[in-house]
Amino acid sequence: GQQVMQIPQYQHVQEGEDFTTYCNSSTTLSNIQWYKQRPGGHPVFLIQLVKSGEVKKQKRLTFQFGEAKKNSSLHITATQTTDVGTYFCAPGANNLFFGTGTRLTVIP
């Protein structure tokens, strides 16, 4: 299946600091989805990016799709304890292959 590398694997931030996770592919992606999984929970869909260079915002979350459609990022501004969880990117066409995820810990 498609291979994507997601970095970092873990990130600890102080509450109020910013956080970014990156998803990189060696091949061009048709689209990419982002999911969040809270501790003990199941993945929940956040957003889908389709167009080259696309940028979408959800409150403090900013999602970007690279111009070459080979990478994507999720940036959280001024993290809060509610942001704790693992963030997955998931590129795919007919089916989804998930990145390994970035586990975010927010220290109050």
Q: Give the binding site for another protein (CB under 8 A).
A: 1, 6, 9, 30-31, 33, 35, 41-45, 48, 88, 90, 92-101
CA 95 to chain centre: 18
User: 54 is written with which tokens?
Assistant: 């696309």
Which residue, 6 or 79, has its beta carbon nearer to another protein? Answer: 6
Which residue, 14 or 94, has its beta carbon nearer to another protein? Answer: 94
Q: What is the dihedral of CA 74, 76, 80, 82, to 10 degrees?
A: -30
Which residue, 17 or 97, has its beta carbon nearer to another protein? Answer: 97
Which residue, 50 or 78, has its beta carbon nearer to another protein? Answer: 50
Amino acid identity of 68? Answer: A
Q: Give the DSSP letter string of 67-95.
A: TTSSEEEEEESS--GGG-EEEEEEEBSSS
The distance of closest approach from Cβ of residue 108 to another protein in the complex, given in angstroms and rounded to an integer, is: 25
The distance of closest approach from Cβ of residue 101 to another protein in the complex, given in angstroms and rounded to an integer, is: 5
The distance of closest approach from Cβ of residue 50 to another protein in the complex, given in angstroms and rounded to an integer, is: 9
Rg of the chain over all Cα atoms, to the nearest angstrom: 13
